[in-house]
Amino acid sequence: MAGLRYLSLCVLTALLLCTVSAYAVSTTVEPGQVFVAEEVVQPGYILMFSFQLDPDYLFTVSVKDRNTGIVLHWWRDEVSGAVSIPSSTTKQVYHAVFDNSNSVLTSKYVNFELRAVQDPEHDVDKELVDPIEVKIGTLMAKVHKMKSLQQTMRYQQSSHRATVEDANERVLLWSILQVVGFLAACGGQMYMLKLFLERKRTI
């Protein structure tokens, strides 16, 4: 019986993950600009938001209600962050704000995800909520955290890979310059030796 309940739980979780409205975006915020991502959340849905910044170039990130202008959560000089906005009885519009207005010259990279997840406890008496649905909600939250961690690791790996590739390109360029310099020096010495021998013959 326990195995059947666990199987049902896994199937329901998979179905929920397939029907979740979500998108992950990687973009660059230009200096002096404020990038805003808008998400319309239907009644009975939870908004899940996470982001990852370049550790060397941080800026302020916030989530606010477009209708009221109230800032619901904000991060300052943090590499990553995540938050869940509870469901509402009405349609809500949220803004994820990436503020690079204080920068004059530096463009800054950000990877973020907005996800709308159905709230199983919305408009339902808590005493009537099926324990399986409660477990599904818990699993969804854990999956969201795991995805955020996965994005962080993926970004760190890509950043490390880019650094290694850049170093390899510089080493290759330096090696080519050394070879060119060596050939030029050899050619110059051969030319000077040739001139010296020609002058010696004429004398």
For position 101, which CATH number holds?
2.60.120.680
Split at pLDDT 50, 70, 90, the class of 84 is confident
Residue with the bigger pLDDT between 31 and 161: it is: 31
Domain total of the chain: 1
Specify if 203 maps to a domain.
no
CB atoms within 10 A of CB 127: 5
Percentage above 90 pLDDT, the chain:
19
Specify if 46 maps to a domain.
yes
Specify if 137 maps to a domain.
no
Specify if 102 maps to a domain.
yes
Specify if 166 maps to a domain.
no
Specify if 180 maps to a domain.
no
At position 64, the amino acid (one-letter code) is K
Specify if 7 maps to a domain.
no
Q: What is the dihedral of CA 120, 122, 123, 127, to 10 degrees?
A: 50
* CA neighbor of 17 nearest in space, from 147, 130, 160: 147
Split at pLDDT 50, 70, 90, the class of 17 is very low
Residue with the bigger pLDDT between 80 and 18: it is: 80
At position 201, the amino acid (one-letter code) is R
Spell out the residues 6+ positions from residue 81 whose beta carbon is closer than 8 angstroms to its own. 50, 51, 61, 73, 75
The model scores a pTM over 0.95? no
Residue 2: per-residue pLDDT = 41
Q: What is residue 125's three-state secondary structure?
A: coil
What domain range includes position 61? 27-123
**Token pair recorded at residue 152:** 């962080």
Q: What is the mean pLDDT of residues 22-32?
A: 80
Residue 99: per-residue pLDDT = 94
Q: How far apart, in Å, are the Cα atoms of 59 and each of 97, 111, 129, 150?
A: 11, 13, 41, 22
Split at pLDDT 50, 70, 90, the class of 111 is confident
Residue for token pair 């349609």? 91
Q: What is the mean pLDDT of residues 136-144?
A: 73
Specify if 38 maps to a domain.
yes
Q: Give CA–CA dist 33/63, Å, rounded.
A: 17
